[in-house]
C-alpha cells in the first residue's frame, strides 16, 4: 500500500511538473515527462491526453493518432480517451475515422456521441444518417448547450433533403439563442426563398450580410432573392 501511495505521489509530481512546463511554453520538456510517465504506466489517461494535445499543438498529428490508437487497443472501453480521439479526428476533418472511433460508445451512455457522429455524416453529405443521429441526440440530451446547435444542423439537413417546412421548425427552435448568428439568418433566407416567400427572405439575408460581410454565400443568396423580386440593380450589386 505504501509503495502504491509513494508511486502515486511521484506520478502526481511529474504531472504537475509537466503542466508547469506547458504553461511556460516549454512543450518539448513536457513531452519528455509525459512520455516517461506513459513508459511506466501506458494507460495513464491524463498523461495520454495531455501528450496528445501537445502533439496536436506542435502539428504532429500522426503521433497523436498513433498514441491514441495504441491506448485504445489496450483499453477499448475507455470512453474519455475515445471521445477525445473522436473530437481530434473531427477537428482534422477525418470524418470516417471519427465515426469509426466513436461508434464504440452507446449514445444512451454518452448522448454527445450522436451529435459528433451526426455532424461527421453531415460533412460527408450523408444527410439521412446525419438526421437520424442528430434527432437521437436531441431526444436523449435535454440540457446540453449543443441542443440549439443540433437544431441548426437539423435545419441545414432538412434543406439538403428539400424538407423546407421541417427545416423552418428546427430553425425556429434555435432562434432564441442564435437570432444574431449570421448562418441562422441565411438559413431563414434560403427557406423563405424555397417556400416562394421571396419578400420575407430579404430581411434575414440582409442581416446575414451585415453580421458576416466576408461570407460569399450570403451575397449569392441575396442576388438570387433580389432577382426573384425583379430588383435587378440590387441583384447585380
Kindly report the pTM of this predicted structure: 0.89
Q: Cα separation of 28 and 73, whole Å?
A: 26
Which of the listed residues 120, 153, 171 is the one where a domain comes to its end? 171
Q: In this structure, what C-alpha cell is assigned to residue 102? A: 466513436
| Structural domain includes residue 207 | yes
100 occurs within a structural domain: no
Number of compact structural domains in the chain: 3
Which residue range forms the structural domain that includes residue 129?
106-171
Whether residue 110 sits in one domain with residue 42: no
Decide: 38 and 47 in contact? Cβ < 8 Å: yes
Task: List pLDDT tens digits, range 144-168.
Answer: 889 999 999 999 999 999 999 999 9
Tell me: pLDDT of 3 over 50: no
In this prediction, residue 192 carries a pLDDT of 96
- Does the pLDDT at position 85 exceed 90? yes
**Domain-terminating residue out of 84, 115, 143:** 84
2 has pLDDT over 50: no
Is residue 91, in this structure, part of any structural domain at all? Answer: no
Q: What are the phi and psi torsion angles at 58 (to 5°)?
A: -85, 0
| Residue-wise pLDDT tens digits, 115-129 | 999 999 999 999 999
Q: What is the pLDDT of residue 74?
A: 92
User: Does some domain include residue 156?
Assistant: yes
Record the cell numbers describing residue 225, joined without a space: 432573392
pLDDT over 90 (residue 142): no
**1 has pLDDT over 90:** no
Q: What CATH code is carried by the domain that includes residue 226?
A: 1.25.40.10
Q: Is the pLDDT of residue 236 over 90?
A: no
What average pLDDT does range 209-215 have in this prediction? 95
Task: Work out the pLDDT band at 187, boundaries 50, 70, 90.
Answer: very high
Tell me which long-range contacts 128-135 makes (C-beta under 8 A, separation of at least 24): 128/161, 130/157, 131/157, 131/158, 131/161, 133/107
Please give the grid coordinates belonging to residue 139: 431526444
Q: Tell me whether residue 218 is in a domain.
A: yes
Task: Report the alpha-carbon distance of residue 104 to residue 68 in Å, rounded.
Answer: 15
Q: Is the same domain home to 207 and 160?
A: no
Whether the predicted pLDDT of 203 surpasses 60:
yes
Domain identity same for 196 and 138: no
Domain assignment present for residue 26? The answer is yes
Amino acid at each position: 500500500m505504501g509503495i502504491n501511495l509513494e508511486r502515486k505521489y511521484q506520478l502526481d509530481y511529474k504531472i504537475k511538473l509537466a503542466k508547469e512546463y506547458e504553461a511556460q511554453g516549454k512543450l518539448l520538456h513536457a513531452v519528455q515527462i509525459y512520455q516517461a510517465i506513459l513508459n511506466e504506466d501506458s494507460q495513464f489517461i491524463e498523461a495520454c491526453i495531455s501528450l496528445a494535445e501537445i502533439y496536436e499543438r506542435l502539428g504532429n498529428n500522426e503521433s497523436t493518432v498513433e498514441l491514441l490508437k495504441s491506448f485504445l487497443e489496450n483499453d477499448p472501453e475507455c470512453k474519455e480517451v475515445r471521445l477525445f480521439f473522436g473530437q481530434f479526428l473531427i477537428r482534422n476533418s477525418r470524418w470516417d475515422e471519427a465515426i469509426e472511433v466513436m461508434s464504440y460508445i452507446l449514445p444512451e451512455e454518452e448522448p454527445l456521441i450522436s451529435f459528433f457522429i451526426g455532424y461527421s455524416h453531415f460533412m460527408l453529405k450523408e444527410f439521412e444518417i446525419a438526421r437520424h443521429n442528430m434527432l437521437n441526440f436531441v431526444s436523449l440530451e435535454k440540457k446540453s448547450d449543443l441542443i440549439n446547435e443540433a437544431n441548426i444542423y437539423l435545419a441545414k439537413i432538412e434543406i439538403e433533403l428539400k424538407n423546407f417546412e421541417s427545416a423552418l421548425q428546427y430553425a425556429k427552435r434555435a432562434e432564441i439563442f442564435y437570432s444574431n448568428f449570421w448562418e441562422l439568418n441565411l438559413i431563414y433566407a434560403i427557406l423563405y426563398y424555397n417556400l416562394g416567400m421571396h419578400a420575407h427572405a430579404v430581411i434575414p439575408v440582409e442581416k446575414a450580410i451585415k453580421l458576416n460581410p466576408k461570407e460569399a454565400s450570403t451575397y449569392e443568396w441575396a442576388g438570387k432573392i433580389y432577382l426573384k423580386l425583379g430588383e435587378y440593380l440590387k441583384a447585380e450589386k
